[in-house]
A and B are shown apart, each in its own frame.
Chain A
Amino acid sequence: GQQLNQSPQSMFIQEGEDVSMNCTSSSIFNTWLWYKQDPGEGPVLLIALYKAGELTSNGRLTAQFGITRKDSFLNISASIPSDVGIYFCAGQVPGSNYQLIWGAGTKLIIKP
């Protein structure tokens, strides 16, 4: 079945640094989503991408839908302590408007 490879698995960074993470797939997706999950909470949608090549920002977050439709990346600029959490990418299952394939997550840890 379809799989998403998300990397890195975890990141230890200093406050104020920029962060970059990405997801790749062997299959094409029509939509990419990025979520954040805080400890003990459910995922919260950060950014949705609908077109190949699309670049979308949400505050300090920027995400791009790869041209090949097989990858996406998320950047966080000038990280702050509340950015700590697990970031997930998800791709829309072709032919479905509600089923998603999820990456395994990137755990972000910020050193004060």
Chain B
Amino acid sequence: NAGVMQNPRHLVRRRGQEARLRCSPMKGHSHVYWYRQLPEEGLKFMVYLQKENIIDESGMPKERFSAEFPKEGPSILRIQQVVRGDSAAYFCASSPMTGYTEAFFGQGTRLTVV
């Protein structure tokens, strides 16, 4: 049973470009959470999705950021017109039901904006 798969592992974008981060949850998991981690800091909650629904996006910036979890395929975190401050590690976690103790994290995507 494969774990949570995130790709790409590393992504370099120039300022103003778009970044698309993908997360394939573990088999049987229909809940996905996205987090951002800045260097030397803990994770910050961004958004919680279930299949085809955004449940809670209270941690996501209102502009330039969007997330989706379609019926088929991976969850996507999209950052438009990236700026240097978007450089961070982005982690997703998945769980079979709401809650964190059953949630498993992916290896993260390290976004660098140059």
Interface of A with B (CB < 8 Å)?
A: 4, 6, 33, 40-45, 48, 88, 90, 92, 97-100, 102-105
Contact = CB atoms under 8 A, between A and B. Distances in A.
Nearest to A92: B100
A48 B107 contact: no
Interface residues of B, number: 24
B107 A41 contact: yes
The majority secondary structure among interface residues of chain A is: strand
A42 B107 contact: yes
Contacts, number: 59
A42 B103 CA distance: 11
B99 interface: yes
A43 B43 contact: yes
Contact of B99 (A6, A90, A97): A97
A4 B43 CA distance: 12
B33 interface: yes
A103 B42 contact: yes
Nearest to A102: B42
